[in-house]
Structure 1
Amino acid sequence: MDTTPDLSARPAIRALTQLEARVLAVLLEKQHTVPDTYPLSLNALTAGCNQKTARAPVMNATEDEVLTAIDGLKRLSLAMEGSSSRVPRFEQNMKRVLGVPSQSAALLAILMLRGPQTAAELRLNSARLHAFADISSVEVFLDELAAAEPPRVVKLPRAPGGREHRWMHLLCGEVSVDDAPAQGNGEDTVPPSEFEAMKAAQRELEEKVARLQAMLEQMAGELGIRLDTDGL
């Protein structure tokens, strides 16, 4: 029986505020990265929202503001308060409410945390939430999210100097191309995050080549064949 969520027709929810989106994404991120402390306390959740790394834009939300955002997410059933602790702790319910698989939830979380991203950047930055096999698999889930009703992501026009299209979530409403952060100013400019994604892909390719070479040398040794390794 196919248990894949149907993305074609899900009930529309109101647009989230920027802080609500940040809170929701932090809850999902920390569920995967620090499971021992999940669900999160208000203090830990606020700290996650205000991180200086892996966040765009950087925020400086107060606990009261985060609590207001949580209340808004509760009314949408996107967040819940746990009842097994004397200290209030909060958890997310994004997959169930939006009707998306864990792969799509991971991509949405990274887009809410970091802003517009290319598929290569998303694969790199979502590795701790879901390990995508390759960039093509990321694009499959992005295309599904874009084709959903209502759509959850949109492919942005390629920016001047950009080598790849970027994607942005639509959970906070329609995205203005003018409001999307610039990707570069010159034809040869590569954003740092995209450069890191390219380096990661190169390392992965080098590791595969090294494994294949080791297998080839082992087979040659078993067959008594001498290889010219300098030419490999």
Structure 2
Amino acid sequence: MSLRHLTPIEARVLATLMEKARTVPDTYPLSLNGVVTGCNQKTSREPVMNVSEGEAQEALDDLRTLGLVREASGGRVARHEHNFQRGVGVPEQSAVLLGLLMLRGPQTAGELRINSDRWYRFADISSVEGFLDELRERSEEKGGPLVVRLPRAPGTREDRWAHLLCGPVNEEVPGYARVSAGVAASGMNERVSALEAEVSALKTMVAGLYAELGLTPPSPTHATNEDHTETN
């Protein structure tokens, strides 16, 4: 099934419903207040958000229009549940991986396996990778790919994966630019330190030559004045 791209808040609301359905079934479906609280958790969220009740309600209404959320019947307080698997047309394992990617941002297959423990227990990393590959190779007839494999960041050994439910992503994992900048800064600092050491060694060598010749090294002020006079 082909869907329009979700907004970041819609993705957070949807993934929150998907998470709570599996981790706290006793309090599911969620009230609007429960949705807001889940969206704004400080843990297991990347990035951390501050979604208002109005924004959450608007997202719920739009997701219901898309067939991804439905309102549970009964009770004085409206409660909401997701309809992700049927709405998107993916099996449970794929839904779990997409939900985690929406909540926590790009992750490796190993991280996804660990983070999915309360949602679904994958047999091994190969199983996770198999479902990720299926989502990446999803045919255009079914709506196209739902995940992308990101370039490996400097200093890491595993590729990370990101979802495409909010549209194309910058193929730099979060922190990639910061890591690259840090590596560049570290290299610059090393070069500066090496140059400083080289200059210090040259100064020592020159001072030794002056001493052997019985000469007095010119003071920095004297040398500067001479240079200025020659220039004029």
* Bin of the TM-score, shorter chain as denominator length: 0.7 to 0.9
Q: State the 1:132 CA deviation.
A: 0.5
SS at match of 2:179: coil
Match of 2:96 in 1: 106
SS at match of 1:167: strand
1:181 aligns to 2:174 (yes or no)? yes
Match of 1:151 in 2: 145
Identity %: 60
How many residue pairs end up in the alignment? 176
Alignment partner of 1:137 out of 117, 127, 134: 127
1:168 aligns to 2:162 (yes or no)? yes
Return the index of the structure with the highest Cα Rg: 2
SS at match of 1:81: strand
Q: How does 1:188-227 map to 2 (within 5 A)?
A: none
Q: State the 1:77 CA deviation.
A: 0.3
Match of 2:76 in 1: 86
Match of 2:211 in 1: none
Q: State the 1:84 CA deviation.
A: 1.4
How does the TM-score come out when normalised to structure 2?
0.73
SS at match of 1:26: helix
Provide, for residues 172-202 of structure 1, a one-character-per-residue CA deviation record: whole Å limited to 9, x for no partner: 0001124x3025738xx9xxxxxxxxxxxxx
- Write the distance in 2 (CA, Å) between the matches of 1:83 and 1:132: 33
Q: State the 1:20 CA deviation.
A: 0.3
Aligned residue type for 1:181: P
The runs of at least 4 aligned residues of structure 1 exceeding 4 Å deviation read none
1:33 aligns to 2:27 (yes or no)? no
- Write the distance in 2 (CA, Å) between the matches of 1:166 and 1:25: 19
Structure 2, unaligned runs of 5 or more: 184-232
- Write the distance in 2 (CA, Å) between the matches of 1:161 and 1:75: 43
- Write the distance in 2 (CA, Å) between the matches of 1:130 and 1:85: 29
Structure 1, unaligned runs of 5 or more: 1-10, 190-232
- Write the distance in 2 (CA, Å) between the matches of 1:87 and 1:61: 20
1:48 aligns to 2:23 (yes or no)? no
Q: State the 1:98 CA deviation.
A: 1.0
Provide, for residues 117-157 of structure 1, a one-character-per-residue CA deviation record: whole Å limited to 9, x for no partner: 00000000011110001100000000000011310101011
- Write the distance in 1 (CA, Å) between the matches of 2:112 and 2:154: 20
Aligned residue type for 2:61: D
- Write the distance in 2 (CA, Å) between the matches of 1:83 and 1:118: 38
RMSD, aligned α-carbons:
1.4
Match of 2:65 in 1: 75
- Write the distance in 2 (CA, Å) between the matches of 1:117 and 1:169: 10
Aligned residue type for 2:117: A
- Write the distance in 2 (CA, Å) between the matches of 1:134 and 1:158: 21
- Write the distance in 2 (CA, Å) between the matches of 1:147 and 1:84: 40
